[in-house]
Amino acid sequence: MRTVSIFGATGSVGMSTLDLIQREPDAYQVVALTANSDVEGLAQAAKATGAQIAVIGDPARYDALKAALAGSGVEAAAGEEALVDVAGSGADWTMASIVGCAGLRPTMAALKAGGTVALANKESLVSAGGLMMEAARASGATLLPVDSEHNAIFQCLAGGTLDDVARIILTASGGPFRTRSRAEMADITPQQAVAHPNWSMGAKISVDSATMMNKGLEFIEAAYLFPVGLDRIEILVHPQSVIHSMVEYRDRSTLAQLGSPDMRIPIAHALAWPRRIATPCQPLDLARIGRLDFEAPDPDRFPALRLARQAAEAGGAVPAILNAANEVAVAAFLAGRVRFLDIAMIVEEVLTRYSAPAPHAIADVLAADAAARVMAGQVMERLTAC
């Protein structure tokens, strides 16, 4: 029986992971579940799975969680340090799906503990990729990608080597505004931006998909996970989201991983790896789909792609700055404080105005992240004052 901890258990990835685990209750023992503020969802999941401990990220919600778990035998804890302590407690398999840079310290703790870490928190790897990969090497941890694109690449590399790779091709749906002009995107609302045509995701990731920053972050993530060189990683828009990514080898054979757009498929691959388990997902019906379309991405309409590539090329603390500014800008957009097209503009101005030394420890990453957030706030203040 594999012991499991799920960080971000009440989010879409966390709930999909719980769904799969509950279908094979004899194979997995849930040790810990965490959430940011959803006490009711966390307590319900912890009691249903018999978790040993449930941790709420917001310390102000501790009493509510403790009350919700009363009599269940599930221990309650709260706060960032509790998240880090639980992450380092040594579960066999950890799902790292806390959204944003908030997941960085728990993910690092899980990697240092030396188990298997299924990574659905791309922002952590974007901000501290070098440090995370070094932590995994030092502890012997196994890092498995859960993003559908990186999981697809991982599957396509089975039996091959990075030395034989000619190109890694990250596919992108193009988001809900793929065919719109810049002018047509000027008045996009948060409700429109979170309505992804293919995937069911959280609000932040959905907005990132709409701006295509999500694909930019995945480009940086791929550079750390599959170090073939930035010039051999490409992005290809594929609106149907059937091919999740491809690997072209130097003999010009191209392997692609296909599947329905359901996150339970890559989660199941990571959960059971190196074996496979059944999922309740819809089988792929290519006859019904009928066609697969492809087009080059447009960095003029979607400047987040250009910004992410520039950040990857610059390296050091720049990807962390990019990610922090984007998180602030997206949150402001969702709150109605800035417009859709302002998101990339805010990120670009922060990248232009702020720099930091290359990080040598997590504290350096967090310092750069914090300073970039302050700068993003200042940029937004000037923007909204105009």
Q: Taking Cα atoms as reference points, which of 274, 246, 280, 275 lies closest to residue 260? A: 280
Which residues lie across from 167 on neighbouring strands? 248
- For the record, the structure tokens of 54 come out as 């449930």
Edge-to-edge strand list for the sheet holding 165-172: 233-237, 165-172, 243-249, 254-258
Is the pLDDT assigned to residue 334 strictly greater than 70?
yes
The Cα 310–Cα 161 span in angstroms is: 27
Q: How confident is the model at residue 99 (pLDDT cuts 50, 70, 90)?
A: confident
Q: What is the pLDDT of residues 315-326, one digit of tens each?
A: 999 999 999 999
Q: How far is CA 386 from CA 89, 338, 346, 379, 383, in A?
A: 50, 12, 14, 11, 6
Do 203 and 99 meet the contact criterion of CB atoms below 8 Å apart? no
Among 63-77, 95-109, 197-211, the range scoring the smallest mean pLDDT is 197-211
| pLDDT (average), residues 324-346 | 97
What pLDDT was estimated at residue 197?
73
Q: How confident is the model at residue 102 (pLDDT cuts 50, 70, 90)?
A: confident
| pLDDT (average), residues 8-19 | 95
Dihedral sign for Cα atoms in the order 206, 321, 105, 63: negative
- For the record, the structure tokens of 302 come out as 């979607």
Is the pLDDT assigned to residue 98 strictly greater than 80?
yes
List phi, psi (to 5°) of 102: -60, -20
In the chain, beta strands by DSSP E: 2-7, 28-35, 53-56, 75-78, 93-96, 116-119, 142-145, 165-172, 233-237, 243-249, 254-258
In what helix (H) or strand (E) does residue 45 lie, and over which residues does it extend?
helix 39-49
Do 151 and 270 meet the contact criterion of CB atoms below 8 Å apart? yes
Whole-number percent of the chain with pLDDT over 90: 93
Q: Taking Cα atoms as reference points, which of 66, 73, 37, 26 lies closest to residue 52? A: 73
Average pLDDT of every residue of the chain = 95
Q: What is the pLDDT of residues 182-205, one digit of tens each?
A: 999 999 999 999 987 766 677 898
What pLDDT was estimated at residue 200?
64
- More reliable by pLDDT, 340 or 122: 340
Report which residue type is found at 299. Answer: P
| pLDDT (average), residues 225-239 | 97
What pLDDT was estimated at residue 253?
97
Q: How confident is the model at residue 165 (pLDDT cuts 50, 70, 90)?
A: very high
| pLDDT (average), residues 57-86 | 97
Report which residue type is found at 185. Answer: M
Is the pLDDT assigned to residue 60 strictly greater than 70?
yes
Beta carbons within 8 Å of 341's beta carbon, 6+ residues apart: 182, 185, 186, 188
| pLDDT (average), residues 270-275 | 96
Q: Taking Cα atoms as reference points, which of 150, 154, 93, 89 lies closest to residue 122? A: 150
Is the pLDDT assigned to residue 306 strictly greater than 80?
yes
Tell me the whole-structure pTM to 2 decimals: 0.93
What pLDDT was estimated at residue 383?
86
Strands 165-172 and 243-249 turn out to be: antiparallel
What pLDDT was estimated at residue 79?
97
Whole-number percent of the chain with pLDDT over 70: 99
- For the record, the structure tokens of 204 come out as 């932040």
What pLDDT was estimated at residue 3?
97
Report which residue type is found at 274. Answer: P
Q: How far is CA 1 from CA 14, 53, 91, 275, in A?
A: 20, 18, 11, 14
